């Protein structure tokens, strides 16, 4: 699972060196880079488009994400607001 953002863009560039990946993303911004991985299976979540970030959110995106059990999750952070915020995020992704 991978969301968008500038940091994750650079992670996506590095992922081009990997093989046999299955990537679930909310990010239209990352899709062109991820699509360069020849044997990767890429799932775009769908949902409501947030144009300023070129990603998707909402019920449809969450319903899609819930179908997967990722081994790794790569999230970008704009700001961190302590352990309480982390617990809220963890509950939201369950």
Predicted local confidence at residue 58, as pLDDT: 94
User: pLDDT 10s per residue in the chain (94 long)?
Assistant: 999 888 899 999 999 999 999 999 999 999 999 999 999 999 999 999 999 989 999 999 999 999 999 999 998 876 656 666 666 656 655 5
pTM confidence score: 0.77
Is the CB of residue 78 less than 8 Å from the CB of residue 59?
Answer: no
> What single-letter DSSP state applies at residue 74?
B
Closest CA to 22 of 73, 56, 87: 73
Separation between Cα atoms, residue 94 and residue 92, nearest integer Å: 6
Separation between Cα atoms, residue 55 and residue 26, nearest integer Å: 5
Separation between Cα atoms, residue 48 and residue 53, nearest integer Å: 12
């Amino acid at each position: 699972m991978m969301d968008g953002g500038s940091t994750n863009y650079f992670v996506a560039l590095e992922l081009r060196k990997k093989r046999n990946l299955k990537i679930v993303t909310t990010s239209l911004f990352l899709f062109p880079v991820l699509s360069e991985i020849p044997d990767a299976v890429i799932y775009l979540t769908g949902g409501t488009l947030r144009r300023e970030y070129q990603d998707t959110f909402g019920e449809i995106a969450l319903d899609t994400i819930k179908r997967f059990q990722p081994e790794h999750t790569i999230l970008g952070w704009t700001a961190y607001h302590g352990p309480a915020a982390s617990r809220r995020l963890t509950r939201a992704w369950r």
